[in-house]
C-alpha cells in the first residue's frame, strides 16, 4: 500500500469523523465522544464499521454504539457499547492489524514504533519525521 502516501489530506482530522457518521448513522450518535486516528488506519476502521453493521443487519444482534476511536500506545482503540463476543472479536482483530499498519500512510511494510510518544509508523514515514525533529527514535517491529 505505497500508493496514497505523500500527504495526503490535511483536513482528514475533520473530514473523517463526518464521513464515518454519515456512512454508519446507526452506529454513531451523541455518545461518541472522539474519533481521532491517523489517515493510515482509516481503511481498517471503515472496514471494521462496515463488517460490524453487516453482522448486525443480517444476524440481528443489538445495535452497537461507538463511544470512542483513538490511538493509544501505538495501537488502535475502538470502544463501543453493546458488543457481543463475536463483535468484540472483530474489534480485537482490527486493533491487532493497527500494529502492522503505518498510522500515517497505511503502509504494511517496514513497520516499527517510535520511542517516547509511541506511534506505529513505517520506516519511510519515520525518516520523514526524523528530518522534522531532533529527538526522534524508531525501532522496527520484529517479525512474528
Ligand atoms: Zn508510513
Q: Would the pLDDT of 8 be above 80?
A: no
Tell me, in angstroms, the distance from the centre of ligand 1 to residue 93's CA: 21
Cα–Cα nearest to 91, from 57, 68, 124, 114: 68
pLDDT higher than threshold 60 for residue 7: no
Q: Which residue has the cell 483513538?
A: 70
| Ligand 1 center from residue 109 Cα (angstroms) | 8
pLDDT-derived band at 4, boundaries 50, 70, 90: very low
pLDDT at res. 6: 53
Residue 66, C-alpha cell as written in the block: 461507538
Interval between CA 30 and ligand 1 midpoint (Å): 32
Q: How far is the CA of 138 from the centre of ligand 1 (A)?
A: 12
Cα 88 to ligand 1 centroid, rounded to whole Å: 27
Per-residue pLDDT tens over the stretch 54-110: 999 999 889 999 999 999 999 999 999 999 999 999 999 999 999 999 999 999 999
Question: Average pLDDT in the 5-27 region?
Answer: 87
- Distance between Cα 22 and ligand 1 center (Å): 27
Instruction: Give the mean pLDDT of 27-48.
Output: 97
Domain map of the chain by residue range? 10-98, 102-144
Beta strands in the chain (DSSP E): 34-36, 65-72, 75-81, 111-114, 120-122, 138-140
Amino acid at each position: 500500500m505505497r500508493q496514497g502516501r505523500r500527504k495526503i489530506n490535511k483536513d482528514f482530522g475533520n473530514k473523517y469523523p463526518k464521513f464515518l457518521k454519515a456512512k454508519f448513522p446507526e452506529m454513531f450518535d451523541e455518545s461518541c465522544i472522539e474519533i481521532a486516528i491517523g489517515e493510515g488506519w482509516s481503511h481498517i476502521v471503515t472496514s471494521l464499521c462496515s463488517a460490524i453493521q453487516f453482522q448486525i443487519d443480517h444476524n440481528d444482534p443489538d445495535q452497537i454504539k461507538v463511544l470512542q476511536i483513538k490511538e493509544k500506545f501505538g495501537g488502535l482503540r475502538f470502544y463501543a457499547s453493546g458488543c457481543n463476543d463475536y463483535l468484540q472479536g472483530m474489534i480485537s482483530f482490527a486493533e491487532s492489524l493497527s500494529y502492522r499498519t503505518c498510522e500515517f500512510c497505511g503502509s504494511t511494510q517496514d513497520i516499527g514504533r517510535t520511542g517516547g510518544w509511541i506511534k506505529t509508523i513505517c520506516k519511510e514515514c519515520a525518516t520523514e519525521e526524523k528530518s522534522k525533529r531532533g529527538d526522534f527514535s524508531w525501532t522496527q517491529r520484529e517479525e512474528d
